[in-house]
Amino acid sequence: MNDARDLVDGRHVAIVGAGLVGSGWAVVFARAGLRVKVFDSQAETQAGALRSVHEQLTALERHGLLAEPAAHVLARVSCEASLELCVDGAAYVQESTFERLDVKQALMRQLDATLSADAVVGSSTSGIPASAFASGLRISPQVLIAHPVNPPSLIPLVELVPAPATSARALAFATALMTGVGQSVVHVRKEVDGFVLNRLQAVLLREAWALVEDGVASCEDIDKTIRDGLGWRWSFMGPFETIDLNAPGGVADYARRLGPLYRSIAASRAHAKEWSEELIKDVESQRRQELSAESLAERRRWRDDRLAEFAAARDRREGS
Amino acid sequence: MNDARDLVDGRHVAIVGAGLVGSGWAVVFARAGLRVKVFDSQAETQAGALRSVHEQLTALERHGLLAEPAAHVLARVSCEASLELCVDGAAYVQESTFERLDVKQALMRQLDATLSADAVVGSSTSGIPASAFASGLRISPQVLIAHPVNPPSLIPLVELVPAPATSARALAFATALMTGVGQSVVHVRKEVDGFVLNRLQAVLLREAWALVEDGVASCEDIDKTIRDGLGWRWSFMGPFETIDLNAPGGVADYARRLGPLYRSIAASRAHAKEWSEELIKDVESQRRQELSAESLAERRRWRDDRLAEFAAARDRREGS
């Protein structure tokens, strides 16, 4: 991972917005040997950031996912008293503020006034395109989306989505930096709603909810269909490789055999419907039978342990 | 797994149609301690069945997935010279013949003439509802769909889909038998196109192909989005549990926050379009850059090894 250190050439990474996502990013960059400065305009969030980073590092260490003691990594992370101190001299800024257009616009105007011309800004937003909050500014060519999956310290995927104004240099830098710190980079070439990840998640969830609404299957049986069926292959191959291996002649053979069925399935679903309050209550009640509201937090820790085991197994396999 | 042996009460399981799917089912039942008789009307397929069963058992043994030597399991599987010999006295018949309506209809008429009134018939079809080939027969109440994922000896999911004519007793028996041999049972309550698994796969694939067609992302980047992003959680939680843990207040909270975005994403996609030959060629060419046609078979073996590792890890975790 020395690539990343060469790339920033002694400069640091600034984390602006230090909630769950921001602190996860701090772990990703610090773990790769980079200096990280953190700022959050909410004093309370700022105060919790180092504790969150510490907890995440301890969990990684427990699963054998750190190459050095957690304390050494933590020592590379500092909190700064102002946005200016945080971003001054930064090679890269990861923006993870509240998911609201006006918040992002205000931040970009502030950065426009202070940021050096060669720093690149990645936004963690899961849905707002960079054009919507970084147009017409001096720094517009320096800004793009770098959308992670939570927590980014465990799940490697990051979607890079340039705006039309984003420079090729900024995209190339973000690609090299993210790859250098061990993330898995996906290039989203157009600013479409939901980028790629949430579009794929959206269509699957819409069909899942509709199957519950139509009385075809329970939530738990739909979860089983994925976790005991489709999900295994998708967790190490993705859908195109899966179907490429599922027909004797590969993906084109598969498409000609099953394309018409899939087309009729997709066409049979009216996608304009809202999830009614009644349906939401039904799904919630089904989920609460599987897992009580009081157990949500514990189950989230279980999930993160499983993800860490997943990451550790992947590291062993790839010898990294 | 003694449940399954009690359930069949000394009788055997008949496998009719002994290609990849049928031989996989033979492994599932024999591994659980049941006697299995196999028949295929194609002499060549019949001849290859025991070899395929043996290969699958050897792979399971290598991954520590058999509780006894492969040879002991193999000894419980025999090939029979006729359909009548195969199904005579069977407690359960797993039908895995060619995926064509007339083939299944003809087989059901033959079974109608010979099968005892208490045997249950499960069909491996991935798309044809039981009503279409098992209506108006003496054995209609005994027939339902038992749709596996390939290979069923590694991926536990099975969709049970009764026809309106299927008896509650047959569904209960199939549920108990499949659970008893270690499969993960999903109940599909209505005969919808694609059942549950292929409906979920269909909508995700349709969106994936459309993103390629629109130039939003490459096949490889879409595969990454799933295998390095969404797929990890889905492989042990399913989509409902995933979103239940992804909002502070659980699934209803999630639905109210993200429902509108997902609705607009789903509504933005015209699902009636065919996959054009041009698009199929583009996807194929992208896949062939990742994996040559000559390497497909080798990569399928790699996939099955990974699935076996997955199954072994799951067994260790669940202490089974």
| Domain boundaries, given as residue ranges, for chain A | 2-187, 197-236+274-318
> Chain A interface, mutation test: which of B184, B203, B287, most A Cβ atoms within 10 Å?
B203
DSSP state at residue B125: -
Picking from A23-32, A177-186, A251-260, B129-138, which range would have the lowest pLDDT averaged per residue? A251-260
Average pLDDT of the segment spanning A19-40? 96
Asked whether the beta carbons of residue B259 and residue A252 sit closer than 8 angstroms, the reply is no
Note whether B221 contacts A: Cβ–Cβ < 8 A: yes
Question: Distance (Å, rounded) from C-alpha A181 to C-alpha B147?
Answer: 43
Q: What does the pLDDT read at residue A2?
A: 54
Q: What does the pLDDT read at residue B270?
A: 66
Note whether A101 contacts B: Cβ–Cβ < 8 A: no
Residue A294, pLDDT above cutoff 90: no
Q: How confident is the model at residue A248 (pLDDT cuts 50, 70, 90)?
A: confident
**Residues 133-172 in A contacting B (C-alpha not used; CB under 8 Å):** 149-150, 155-157, 159
Q: What does the pLDDT read at residue A258?
A: 86
Asked whether the beta carbons of residue A306 and residue B221 sit closer than 8 angstroms, the reply is no
Task: Please work out, in degrees rounded to the nearest 5, the angle formed at the alpha carbon of residue A236 by the alpha carbons of A234 and A238.
Answer: 40
Average pLDDT along chain B: 92
- The percent of residues in chain B predicted with pLDDT above 70, rounded, is 98
Looking at the DSSP assignment, which residues form a beta bridge with residue A274?
none
Set of chain A residues whose Cβ sits within 8 Å of the Cβ of B267: 271-272
| Nearest-CA distance A164 → chain B (Å) | 13
Asked whether the beta carbons of residue B244 and residue A296 sit closer than 8 angstroms, the reply is yes
Asked whether the beta carbons of residue B269 and residue A269 sit closer than 8 angstroms, the reply is no
Note whether B266 contacts A: Cβ–Cβ < 8 A: yes
Q: What does the pLDDT read at residue B1?
A: 46
List the end-to-end C-alpha distance of chain B, in Å, as a whole number.
10
Set of chain B residues whose Cβ sits within 8 Å of the Cβ of A313: 313
Task: Please work out, in degrees rounded to the nearest 5, the angle formed at the alpha carbon of residue B218 by the alpha carbons of B213 and B219.
Answer: 90
Q: What does the pLDDT read at residue B305?
A: 85
Q: Measure CB to CB from residue A186 to each of B221, B265, B272 and give the nearest one.
A: B221
Query: Which backbone phi and psi does B11 adopt, to 5 degrees?
Result: -90, 170
| Nearest-CA distance A304 → chain B (Å) | 9
CA distances (Å), A54 to each of A29, A74, A153, in order? 14, 7, 12
Asked whether the beta carbons of residue A251 and residue B290 sit closer than 8 angstroms, the reply is no
Asked whether the beta carbons of residue A255 and residue B193 sit closer than 8 angstroms, the reply is no
Q: How confident is the model at residue B188 (pLDDT cuts 50, 70, 90)?
A: very high
Evaluate whether A162 touches A195 at the Cβ level (below 8 Å).
Answer: no
Q: What is the per-residue pLDDT across B215-260, written as a single tens digit (0 to 9) for each?
A: 999 999 999 999 999 998 999 999 999 999 888 888 999 898 888 8
Per the rule left: phi > 0, alpha: psi between -120 and 50, beta: everything else, A239 is alpha
Set of chain B residues whose Cβ sits within 8 Å of the Cβ of A226: 200, 234, 238-239
- Which one-letter amino acid corresponds to residue A260? P
Picking from A181-195, A206-220, B71-85, B236-250, which range would have the lowest pLDDT averaged per residue? B236-250
Question: Distance (Å, rounded) from C-alpha B137 to C-alpha B143?
Answer: 10
Picking from A46-50, A240-244, B155-159, B305-309, which range would have the lowest pLDDT averaged per residue? B305-309
Residue A319, pLDDT above cutoff 90: no
Q: Which regions of B26-156 does DSSP assign to beta strands (E)?
A: 36-39, 77-79, 90-95, 120-123, 143-148
Average pLDDT of the segment spanning A300-308? 84
DSSP state at residue A18: -
CATH fold for the domain made of B197-318: N-(1-d-carboxylethyl)-l-norvaline Dehydrogenase; domain 2 (1.10.1040)
Q: What is the per-residue pLDDT across B145-174, written as a single tens digit (0 to 9) for each?
A: 999 998 899 999 999 999 999 999 999 999
Evaluate whether B27 touches B57 at the Cβ level (below 8 Å).
Answer: yes
Evaluate whether B309 touches B317 at the Cβ level (below 8 Å).
Answer: no
Q: What does the pLDDT read at residue B272?
A: 66
Structure tokens at A66: 């750190």
Higher pLDDT, A5 or A300: A5
Q: Which regions of chain A does DSSP assign to beta strands (E)?
A: 13-16, 36-39, 77-79, 92-95, 120-123, 143-148, 157-162, 184-187
Q: What does the pLDDT read at residue A284?
A: 87
Ranges of H-type helices in A226-320:
231-234, 238-244, 251-267, 277-290, 296-318
In angstroms and rounded to an integer, the radius of gyration of the C-alpha atoms of chain B is 21
Q: What is the per-residue pLDDT across A102-131, written as a single tens digit (0 to 9) for each?
A: 999 999 999 999 999 999 999 999 989 999
Note whether A238 contacts B: Cβ–Cβ < 8 A: yes
Question: Distance (Å, rounded) from C-alpha B304 to C-alpha B64?
Answer: 14
| A120-123/B157-162 β-pairing | unpaired
Q: What is the per-residue pLDDT across B20-58, written as a single tens digit (0 to 9) for each?
A: 899 999 999 999 999 999 999 999 999 899 999 999 999
Q: How confident is the model at residue A272 (pLDDT cuts 50, 70, 90)?
A: low
CATH fold for the domain made of B2-187: Rossmann fold (3.40.50)
Residues contacting A320, CB < 8 A, separation 6+ = A182
Residue B22's CB is within 10 A of a number of other CB atoms, namely 25
Note whether A274 contacts B: Cβ–Cβ < 8 A: yes
Note whether B287 contacts A: Cβ–Cβ < 8 A: yes
Name the 3-class secondary structure at B34.
Answer: coil
Among B204, B151, B230, B197, which Cα is nearest to A240's? B204
Q: What does the pLDDT read at residue B111?
A: 98
Q: How confident is the model at residue B313 (pLDDT cuts 50, 70, 90)?
A: confident
Set of chain A residues whose Cβ sits within 8 Å of the Cβ of B271: 263, 266-267, 269, 271
Q: How confident is the model at residue A1 (pLDDT cuts 50, 70, 90)?
A: very low
- Which one-letter amino acid corresponds to residue B298? E
| CATH assignment, A197-236+274-318 | 1.10.1040.10
Note whether B244 contacts A: Cβ–Cβ < 8 A: yes
| Nearest-CA distance A60 → chain B (Å) | 17
Note whether A293 contacts B: Cβ–Cβ < 8 A: yes
> Chain A interface, mutation test: which of B245, B304, B320, most A Cβ atoms within 10 Å?
B245
Query: Which backbone phi and psi does A39 adopt, to 5 degrees?
Result: -140, 135
> Chain A interface, mutation test: which of B212, B218, B230, B275, most A Cβ atoms within 10 Å?
B230
In angstroms and rounded to an integer, the radius of gyration of the C-alpha atoms of chain A is 21
Peptide bond into A248 cis (omega under 30): no
Asked whether the beta carbons of residue A189 and residue B245 sit closer than 8 angstroms, the reply is no
Q: Measure CB to CB from residue B219 to each of A204, A240, A313 and give the nearest one.
A: A240
Note whether B67 contacts A: Cβ–Cβ < 8 A: no
Q: What is the per-residue pLDDT across B103-121, written as a single tens digit (0 to 9) for each?
A: 999 999 999 999 999 999 9
Asked whether the beta carbons of residue B223 and residue A240 sit closer than 8 angstroms, the reply is yes
Q: Measure CB to CB from residue A251 to each of B256, B263, B283 and give the nearest one.
A: B283
> Chain A interface, mutation test: which of B150, B209, B220, B241, most A Cβ atoms within 10 Å?
B241
* Largest pairwise CA distance in chain A: 61
